[in-house]
Structure formats: structure tokens, C-alpha cells
């Protein structure tokens, strides 16, 4: 899971990209990078670390130009190699291309094999390099980005929200199923494309609309144009963006994430009403859930857990033996809000079960009489191949275990997961438009050894259509 952004703005883009990446920091804390272009030169600065650590005034001033892209990267296992830090740059006959990508391909090995067979040598192990190679290779022969992206959409299998900087033009495209989010905003003197609308907000821009699945958007100094490259008979929006990953203040594919989470909270009560004294969120994402739960149930919203905000990279954790009891260095119980109380504890998900067990224990130690764990997502029973860093099946507590067994394992008085249909309803776009792979084991793209739902993708002979007409000034959202 990563965050991406592309900006064209007449007033320079490095500072806006910096603020946009900062707004997307929750999507990746492992590394950050920016590429800009001016006067035949591609500038890139990227390194491991948080946005505020990677860049300083000088590095931002050195990133000249009115067009650029940026990236923040999530630390996935085994991939902390500096060479995987994005954006990636590609050079080909005087052409300068930079690419940043959010998502995960499932046919990388196959594609690399093919391109290696044709002679391409790769520098890294990252998905992004194969995307860049397909594009640059296509540009080599046809010179049209539309064709290049069409080729990508035909060949890439998996999720790929992508921004590309080709000279002083920014391109953005999203896989035909729209698995990863991407949206468009208007700035005072240009446009922004970003993973989430909060990046637009950070620049005081105006949200226009989401990039459509299968769409290629192009922004340069003359404005924004769009081409529909492919259309599918369904969408496959990642359900976990709504449940956990996205910021609550983001509007994603037409829906405010906060609203989804409040509705989930309401439905969690409806599905299994319980008498209790407090509706207590697990911070941070649980707060919207608990707000919805409290509203519906009449059980007051009261925090029973407080998070310490000052945890930094260099913080020394207690030694292994002390670790179990030392969760509270990060997360403290508000004893007075829990003691002798019947507590509804509302969390977004239960993955391995270890964190839930520790939290339930802490709350019980604080004197809670009953702990009713309510979970904002159905049981996770299968891995994600499309960009969310999830454990293997054997590590998933819900994989092959009944709810009652999970409840006992985490030590709660009662445990209810939200039913899938309720979750789908809370999101509002229909199950056929969501990727529910981790919840059902059935994936919207073909994956070796897994079941897959049937998708039909139609490739359009790209006809340009200006978006400018569809966007009528003002601050409305579609």
C-alpha cells in the first residue's frame, strides 16, 4: 500500500507535492520521493524515511519545474532496499520518464520473463520497473502514451494506480477494476491527481472526481484531458480502504470514508444489540465506528484507550520479555472509564488476533465487567495479493476457526463481526464493485491457485475527450 500524487501547476510543484505527500503519509512511512521536470532535466530526490525527514527546503528548491510526481511507500516485508524507493526513472533516447505506483501485480514474474526474453535487463525487483519498461518500450515504437497505457492494461494483471511524468506532462491511470483509489482535484493554477482527496484538501484545491477505472488522465500546462482506455463489467474497489486504510476524511469513489465507518458502527449494533455502559473505540480508526455505534445504540461514546502520539523511529521498545505488558506504553487504558463497566469495544479488524488479545486483556485488567468486541470487517480468511500487506493463511486467526473459537482466543465476553452484506451496504456501491478477496477467497483477477470471479474487460479504441467541459467551475463535487 502506497500513496501517489501528480501535480502540474504554473507556480512550481515541489512544495505542493511535499504537502500532498504529507497528507498521504498514512499510506506509507517507509520512504518518500519526488520527481520533477524542467528544461530537459528530470530531477529526483528520494530516500528512506518520513516525508518531513526526507526533504528539506534546499532539496525542495532543487526540484525545479511545473510538473512532477511523488510517492510514499509502505514497508512491506523484505523490501527495505533503497533501490525500490520510488519514483523510478527511465531513460530512453532523450525521453525522460518517471513513474510512481500504488498496487501489486500478480503476473510480474511472467512479464519479466517475457521482457527479459526480448532483451530487457532489470535493475530492481519492484513491480514498478516492469510497468515503466512496458510504457517506455511502447513509446519507443508508437510514440503515443494512449497506446502504451492500453498495452499496460492488456498485459498487467493486478492493481495499479499509477502516475507518470513524461517530460513536463503528468499522466495518471488506474487499472480497469479500479482496485486502488485515485482522484482528481483542481488547484489555483493547475491540477492534482492523488491517491486520496485529503491531498487535494491539503493544497486547498477543489475535488473534481475520481479517476475512472481504466481511464488515462493527462495534465499539462494547457489543462486536463482524459481517455477511457478500458472498461470492465464491474469494479473491484479494495474493501479495506474503507475499513481501515484510507483517512476518514477522504472521499473515495464517491463516498466519504467517515460515513462508511459510521454506518458500519450503526450496523454493528443492529446486527447484534447488546446492553452496555460505554461504546469504546480502538484508536485511531475505531473512533468513527464508535461514533456510529453510539448514535444508533444510545450507549455513550467514551474513550477507554488513549494512544501516545510521540512514538518515533528511534523509540526503544522494552525487551521481548516485558513486551506483552508494555503495550500500554503506546496505548493506555482510561481506568475510570472502564472499571465495573460493560464495554462495547469497537475495532476495524482482527487479523492475527494478537493485538486484540492484548487490548482485551488490558481492558479487563482495568476492571471492565464485560467486553463485547465488535469488528468493522468480516473475518479475514485469505491473503491479499493486490497490495495490502497481510499475513499468510496460517497466521490469520479467522482462517479455519469458528467465531466462538476466535472469541475465546482473544478473551472477549462476546464477539461479532459485521456481516459482509452489511459492510457492502455501508459502502454502498454493491458487492460486485468491491474486491472482497481477503474475506471470501474469491479474487477479481486471476491468481494461481485461487478462485477468481469472472470479469470482462473491454478495451476501447481510445477517443480523446476533454474533461474540462465536464468540470464546471465552482466548488461542486460530482
Specify binding-site residues for Mg(2+). Answer: 285, 347-348
Q: Which of 40, 77, 121, 456 binds a copy of itself (CB under 8 A)?
A: 121
Range 99-118, binding a copy of itself (CB under 8 A):
112-113, 116, 118
Range 46-85, binding a copy of itself (CB under 8 A):
46-47, 50-53, 55-57, 60, 81-83
Q: Show the CA angle centred on residue 315, arms to residues 310 and 321, nearest 5°.
A: 120
Range 238-277, binding a copy of itself (CB under 8 A):
247-249, 251, 256, 258-259, 262
Build a one-symbol-per-residue string for 271-310: x at contacts with a copy of itself by CB under 8 A, - elsewhere: -------------x--xx--x--xx----xxxx--x-xxx
320: Cβ contacts below 8 Å, ≥ 6 apart: none
Range 123-152, binding a copy of itself (CB under 8 A):
123-125, 129, 132-133, 136-137, 140
120 binds a copy of itself (CB under 8 A): yes
Catalytic annotation on 152?
A: no
In whole angstroms, how close is the CB of 124 to a copy of itself at the nearest point? 7
In whole angstroms, how close is the CB of 198 to a copy of itself at the nearest point? 6
Range 165-194, binding a copy of itself (CB under 8 A):
none
Element (H, E) at 261: helix 257-271
In whole angstroms, how close is the CB of 269 to a copy of itself at the nearest point? 13
Distance from first CA to last CA of the chain, Å, rounded?
Answer: 27
Q: Which of 37, 88, 242, 245 binds a copy of itself (CB under 8 A)?
A: 88
Build a one-symbol-per-residue string for 329-358: x at contacts with a copy of itself by CB under 8 A, - elsewhere: x--xxxxxx---------------------
Bond prior to 87 in cis (omega within 30° of 0): yes
d(CA 104, CA 90): 20
162 binds a copy of itself (CB under 8 A): no
d(CA 227, CA 352): 42
Q: Show the CA angle centred on residue 241, arms to residues 282 and 67, nearest 5°.
A: 125
318 binds a copy of itself (CB under 8 A): yes
121 vs 461, beta carbon nearer a copy of itself: 121
Name the β-bridge partners of 415. Answer: 373
3-state secondary structure 460-472: CCCCEEECCCCCC
Bond prior to 350 in cis (omega within 30° of 0): no
160 vs 443, beta carbon nearer a copy of itself: 160
Please name which of 274, 222, 228, 250 lies closest in space to residue 27, comparing C-alpha atoms: 250
In whole angstroms, how close is the CB of 474 to a copy of itself at the nearest point? 12
3-state DSSP assignment of residue 38: strand
* Main-chain dihedrals φ then ψ at residue 97, nearest 5 degrees: -130, 135
Catalytic positions: 2
Amino acid at each position: 500500500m502506497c500513496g501517489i500524487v501528480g501535480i502540474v501547476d504554473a507556480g512550481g510543484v515541489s512544495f505542493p507535492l511535499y504537502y500532498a505527500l504529507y497528507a498521504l503519509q498514512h499510506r506509507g512511512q517507509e520512504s518518500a520521493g519526488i520527481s520533477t521536470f524542467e528544461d530537459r532535466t528530470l530531477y529526483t530526490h528520494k530516500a528512506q524515511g518520513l516525508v518531513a525527514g526526507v526533504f528539506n527546503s534546499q532539496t525542495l528548491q532543487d526540484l525545479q519545474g511545473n510538473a512532477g510526481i511523488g510517492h510514499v511507500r509502505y514497508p512491506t516485508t523484505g523490501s527495505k532496499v533503497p533501490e525500490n524507493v520510488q519514483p523510478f526513472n527511465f531513460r530512453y533516447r532523450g525521453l525522460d520518464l518517471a513513474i510512481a505506483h500504488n498496487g501489486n501485480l500478480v503476473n510480474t514474474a511472467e512479464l519479466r520473463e517475457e521482457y527479459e526474453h526480448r532483451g530487457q535487463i532489470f535493475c530492481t525487483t519492484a513491480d514498478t520497473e516492469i510497468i515503466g519498461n512496458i510504457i517506455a518500450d511502447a513509446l519507443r515504437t508508437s510514440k503515443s502514451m494512449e497506446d502504451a497505457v492500453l498495452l499496460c492494461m492488456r498485459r498487467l494483471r493486478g492493481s495499479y494506480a499509477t502516475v507518470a511524468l513524461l517530460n513536463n506532462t503528468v499522466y495518471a491511470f488506474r487499472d480497469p477494476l479500479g482496485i486502488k483509489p485515485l482522484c482528481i482535484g483542481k488547484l489555483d493554477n493547475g491540477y492534482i491527481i492523488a491517491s486520496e482527496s485529503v491531498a487535494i484538501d491539503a493544497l486547498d484545491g477543489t475535488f473534481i472526481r475520481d479517476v475512472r477505472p481504466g481511464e488515462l488522465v493527462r495534465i499539462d500546462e494547457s489543462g486536463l484531458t482524459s481517455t477511457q482506455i478500458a472498461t470492465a463489467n464491474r469494479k473491484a474497489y479494495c474493501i479495506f480502504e474503507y475499513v481501515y486504510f484510507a483517512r476518514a476524511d477522504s472521499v473515495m469513489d464517491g463516498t466519504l470514508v467517515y460515513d462508511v465507518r459510521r454506518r458500519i458502527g450503526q450496523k454493528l449494533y443492529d446486527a447484534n444489540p447488546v446492553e452496555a455502559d460505554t461504546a469504546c473505540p480502538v484508536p485511531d480508526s475505531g473512533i468513527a465506528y464508535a461514533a456510529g455505534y453510539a448514535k444508533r445504540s444510545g450507549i455513550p461514546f467514551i474513550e477507554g484507550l488513549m494512544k501516545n502520539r510521540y512514538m518515533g523511529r528511534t523509540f526503544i521498545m522494552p525487551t521481548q520479555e516485558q513486551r506483552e505488558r508494555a503495550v500500554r506504553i503506546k496505548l493506555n487504558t482510561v481506568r475510570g472509564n472502564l472499571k465495573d463497566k460493560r464495554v462495547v469495544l469497537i475495532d476495524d479488524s482482527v487479523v492475527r488476533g494478537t493485538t486484540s488479545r492484548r487490548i482485551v486483556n488490558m481492558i479487563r485488567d482495568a476492571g471492565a465487567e464485560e467486553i463485547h468486541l465488535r469488528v468493522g470487517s468480516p473475518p479475514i480468511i485469505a491473503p491479499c495479493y493486490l497490495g495490502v500487506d497481510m499475513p499468510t493463511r496460517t497466521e490469520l486467526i479467522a482462517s479455519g476457526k469458528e467465531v466462538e473459537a476466535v472469541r475465546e482466543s482473544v478473551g472477549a465476553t462476546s464477539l461479532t463481526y459485521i456481516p459482509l452484506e452489511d459492510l457492502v451496504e455501508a459502502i454502498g456501491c454493491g458487492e460486485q464493485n468491491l474486491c472482497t478477496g481477503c474475506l471470501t477467497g474469491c479474487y477479481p483477477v486471476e491468481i494461481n491457485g485461487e478462485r477468481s470471479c469472472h470479469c470482462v474487460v473491454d478495451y476501447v479504441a481510445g477517443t480523446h475527450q476533454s474533461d474540462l467541459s465536464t468540470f464546471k467551475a465552482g466548488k461542486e463535487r460530482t
